[in-house]
Amino acid sequence: MYKKSSWLAVGVLAYAVAVATLQMTAVVPMLPVLQRELHVPLASASWVLTSALLSGAVSIPLLSRLGDLYGRRPVALCALALLVAGSLIAAVADTLAWLVAGRLLQGVTAPLLPLAIGIARDTVSLDRLPTAIGVLSAMMGVGSGGGMILAGLVGGTYHGLFWALAGLGAAGFALVALLVREPRQRHADGGRPDLVGATLVATWLVCLLLAISKGAAWGWASPLTLGLLAGAAVTAWIWVLTARRTAAPLIEIPMLLHRATIGATVASMLLGFALFAGVTTISAVAQGTLGASVLQVGMYLLPTAGLMLAVSLLAGPLMRRYPAASLVGTGSLLVAVAALWLAASHDRASDLYGAAGVLGVGIGLGYAALGTMAVEHVEPAKTAAAGGVNALVRIVGSSLAGTVTAALLSGGAAGWSFGVAAVSALVAALFGFIHLALARVPGALMKEMP
C-alpha cells in the first residue's frame, strides 16, 4: 500500500541527490577564482573538478555493489558523511593538494542517485514508482543549476562555498537517518566488492587524465607524458583481463560493448563530456571575456539548469510517444547546435543566454531518456548492471571534459573548446540514431549476453 511516509522518504532522498549533484557543479564557476587564489595554472585548478568526478566514477559501481550487500540506506549515509568530511577539509584548505583531497571525498556521493532509486523500488508502490524515479532523476537538473547559483551566493569565495556544502550535506545526513527506512531483505546473494577492479580503474583514469591535463606543459612527446599514457593503457588492459575472470566484477565488460547497450554507453559518455565542456567554457568566457562575477556566471547558466529540470519532468510522457533512442539523438543534436552557436559567437551576453537555453533542452532530453535506452533491450536480470554502466561512463565523460577543456582554455582556445563539445554531441546523436535504426530490426539488439 502506498503511504505518505514513502513520499516523504522520496522527498528526502531527492534533496540528498540534489546536494550530491550540486557539489559537482558548484566548483565550475570557481575555477578562475581558484587559479588566482591558489596561484596555480588553470590545468591544475581543474583537478578540483576532475578529482570529484574521478572518485565518483569509481564509487558508482563500488558503492552500488556495497548497497546490494549491506543495504542502500547505510551506504547512502556513509556517502553523505564523506561529503561532509570532504567539505570541511576543503573549507579550511589553503593548498591545492588539500583541496583535491577534500574533493575526492565529496565525489563519493555520486552513487546517491542509483542508491536512492534502489530504496524507492523497495518502498514505493509500483504504480507510483515511475513518478518517484522521475522526481529523483530530475534532481540532477536542480543540483546542476543550484551549484552555479550557490557559488555566487556565498560571495565567490571557495572557503564559503565548502562551508555551505558541509551544512547542506549534514542536513541531508540527518534527514536520511531520521526519515528514510529500508526493508531488511538484501538483493545480493553474497560475494565481495571488486576492490582490485576499483583500484585498477582509478589508476588508469588518473594516468590518462593527468597526461591530458599536463601534456601541454610537459610536452606531448615528453617521457613523463608518454609514460603516463602507456601506464594508462597497460593498467586498462590488466583491468579488462581481471574483470573477465572475476565472478562479480566492478564493471561487466560485455555490458560495455554489447550491441544492446553500446549505443547508450557511447552516447552517455559523449553527452557527459559535452555538458561539462559546455558549462566549463561558458563559465570561463563569462568571467574572462564579459567580466562576470561568480553569481553572474550562475545566472548565465540558469537557463541550462531550469530547462534541464523542466524537460526531465516531461520525459515520461514523451517516452510513451517516442522511442528513447530518438529522444537521445534529438537531444544530442540540440546540444551540438548550442555548442556550434558558441563556437561561432560567444562574446555577447545574448549568445550565452540563448545557447545555454538550447543546451538545457538538449541535455534534459538526452539525460532523461538515456536510462531507458540503456536497459530497454537487455534481459531483465541485466538491467541493474546496464544502468550502472551507463551512469559510470557518463561521469567518465565528464571527467575527461574537465581535463580537456582546461587544457584548451589554458591556451585561450574557447572556440576550440566549444567545437570539441559540438563534435562530441554530434557523435552521440549518431550513435543514438543508429541504435534507433537497429531497434527496428527484429532481433538485432536482443542477442544474449555472455
**Residues 113 and 177 grouped into a single domain:** yes
Please indicate, yes or no, if residue 190 is contained in any of the structural domains.
no
Amino acid occupying residue 115: L
**Residues 201 and 271 grouped into a single domain:** no
Please indicate, yes or no, if residue 125 is contained in any of the structural domains.
yes
**Residues 51 and 173 grouped into a single domain:** yes
**Total domain count for the chain?**
3
Helix orientation angle between 72-92 and 158-179, rounded to the nearest 10 degrees: 160
Q: Between residues 263 and 235, which one has the greater pLDDT? A: 235
Is a pLDDT exceeding 60 seen at residue 187? no
Please indicate, yes or no, if residue 154 is contained in any of the structural domains.
yes
Q: Model-level pTM?
A: 0.81
Q: Specify the pLDDT at position 342.
A: 94
Domain carrying residue 334: 251-450
**Residues 271 and 409 grouped into a single domain:** yes
Q: Between residues 127 and 117, which one has the greater pLDDT? A: 117
Q: Specify the pLDDT at position 385.
A: 62
Please indicate, yes or no, if residue 189 is contained in any of the structural domains.
no
Mean pLDDT score, 41-49:
83
Please indicate, yes or no, if residue 113 is contained in any of the structural domains.
yes
Give residue 69's pLDDT band: very low, low, confident or very high (50, 70, 90). Answer: confident
**Residues 205 and 89 grouped into a single domain:** no
Please indicate, yes or no, if residue 187 is contained in any of the structural domains.
no
**Residues 202 and 213 grouped into a single domain:** yes
**Residues 117 and 204 grouped into a single domain:** no
Is a pLDDT exceeding 60 seen at residue 448? no
Q: Between residues 421 and 387, which one has the greater pLDDT? A: 421
**Residues 126 and 232 grouped into a single domain:** no
> Dihedral, CA atoms, 265, 269, 271, 272, nearest 10 degrees?
140
Mean pLDDT score, 351-369:
89
**Residues 221 and 263 grouped into a single domain:** no
Give residue 9's pLDDT band: very low, low, confident or very high (50, 70, 90). Answer: confident
Give residue 157's pLDDT band: very low, low, confident or very high (50, 70, 90). Answer: confident
Q: Between residues 227 and 263, which one has the greater pLDDT? A: 227
Give residue 47's pLDDT band: very low, low, confident or very high (50, 70, 90). Answer: confident
**Residues 150 and 64 grouped into a single domain:** yes
The span from the CA of 390 to the CA of 235, in Å, is 22
pLDDT in tens, 248-292: 787 777 777 777 778 888 998 999 899 888 988 998 888 888 888
Residue in this structure with the C-alpha cell 567554457, named with its chain if needed: 281
Q: Specify the pLDDT at position 2.
A: 42
pLDDT in tens, 372-413: 777 676 665 565 566 667 777 887 888 788 778 877 887 777
**Residues 216 and 168 grouped into a single domain:** no
